[in-house]
Amino acid sequence: MNYADVLKMIEDEDISYVDVRFTDPRGKLQHVTVHRDMIDEDFFEDGFMFDGSSIAGWKSIDNSDMMLILDPASAYIDPFYAEKTLAIHCSVVEPDTGEAYSRDPRGTAQKAEAYLKSSGIGDVAYMGPEAEFFLFDDVRFSVEMNKVSFQIDAQDASWNSDTEYEMGNSGHRPGIKGGYFPVNPIDDAQDIRSEMLSTMKNIGMKVDKHHHEVASCQHELGLVFDTLTKQADELQKYKYVIHNVAHAYGKSATFMPKPYYGDNGTGMHVNMSIWKDGKPLFAGDKYADLSQEALWFIGGILKHAKTLNAFTNPATNSYKRLIPGFEAPVLRAYSASNRSGAVRIPWTESPKAKRVEARFPDPAANPYLCFAALLMAGLDGIKNKIDPGPASDKDLYDLPPEELDGIPTVCSSLREALECLESDHDFLLAGDVFTKDQIDGYLAIKWEEVYAFEHMPHPIEYKMYYSC
Taking the C-alpha atoms of residue 423 and residue 426, their distance in angstroms, rounded to an integer, is: 9
Dihedral-angle region of residue 322 (phi above 0 means left; psi in -120 to 50 means alpha; beta otherwise): beta
Phi, psi angles (nearest 5°) of residue 440: -60, -40
Residues 87 and 151 in one domain: no
Q: Determine the 3-state secondary structure of 121 from DSSP.
A: coil
Single-letter code of the amino acid located at 140: R
Taking the C-alpha atoms of residue 262 and residue 271, their distance in angstroms, rounded to an integer, is: 27
**What CATH number did the domain enclosing 153 receive?**
3.30.590.10
- Known binding residue 265? Answer is yes
Residues 230 and 198 in one domain: yes
Taking the C-alpha atoms of residue 117 and residue 382, their distance in angstroms, rounded to an integer, is: 14
- Known binding residue 264? Answer is yes
Q: What is the pLDDT of residue 53?
A: 85
Q: What is the pLDDT of residue 325?
A: 65
Residues 48 and 182 in one domain: no
- Known binding residue 132? Answer is yes
Taking the C-alpha atoms of residue 48 and residue 259, their distance in angstroms, rounded to an integer, is: 37
Residue 398 resides in a domain = yes
Residue 114 resides in a domain = no
- Known binding residue 454? Answer is no
In this prediction the pTM is 0.96
Angle CA(12)–CA(13)–CA(15) in degrees, nearest 5? Answer: 115
Phi, psi angles (nearest 5°) of residue 466: -60, -35
Q: What is the CA radius of gyration of the chain?
A: 23
Boundary residue ending a domain (67, 101, 135): 101
Q: What are the C-alpha distances in Å from 345 to residues 26, 77, 280, 398? A: 29, 37, 14, 20
Q: What residues make up the domain containing 136?
A: 124-465
Residue 181 resides in a domain = yes
Residues marked active site are found at 51, 130, 132, 213, 220, 269, 339, 357, 359
Q: Determine the 3-state secondary structure of 327 from DSSP.
A: coil
Give the 3-state DSSP-derived string for 137-187, with helices as H, strands as E and coil as C.
Answer: CEEEEEECCCCEEEEEECCCCHHHCCCCCCCCCCCCCCCCCCCCCCCCCCC
Taking the C-alpha atoms of residue 242 and residue 236, their distance in angstroms, rounded to an integer, is: 10
Quote the number of domains for the chain: 2
Residues 54 and 170 in one domain: no
CB crowding 373-404: b at 16 or more within 10 Å, else e: bbbbbbbbbbeeebebeebbeeebbebeeeee
**What CATH number did the domain enclosing 34 receive?**
3.10.20.70
Residues 263 and 392 in one domain: yes
Residue 106 resides in a domain = no
Where the chain has pLDDT below 50, the residues are: none
Burial, 278: exposed, middle or buried (Cβ in 10 Å; 0-12, 13-18, 19+)? exposed
Taking the C-alpha atoms of residue 222 and residue 207, their distance in angstroms, rounded to an integer, is: 6
- Known binding residue 193? Answer is no
Burial, 406: exposed, middle or buried (Cβ in 10 Å; 0-12, 13-18, 19+)? exposed
Boundary residue ending a domain (101, 132, 149): 101
Asked if 294 and 343 count as a contact pair (C-beta separation under 8 A), the reply is: no
- Known binding residue 286? Answer is no
Q: Determine the 3-state secondary structure of 254 from DSSP.
A: strand
Q: What is the pLDDT of residues 209-221, one digit of tens each?
A: 999 999 999 999 9
Of 108, 111, 133, nearest to 364 by C-alpha is 133
Taking the C-alpha atoms of residue 79 and residue 62, their distance in angstroms, rounded to an integer, is: 38
Residues 263 and 404 in one domain: yes
Of 260, 411, 266, nearest to 328 by C-alpha is 266
Q: Determine the 3-state secondary structure of 290 from DSSP.
A: strand
Phi, psi angles (nearest 5°) of residue 268: -145, 80
Residues 328 and 215 in one domain: yes
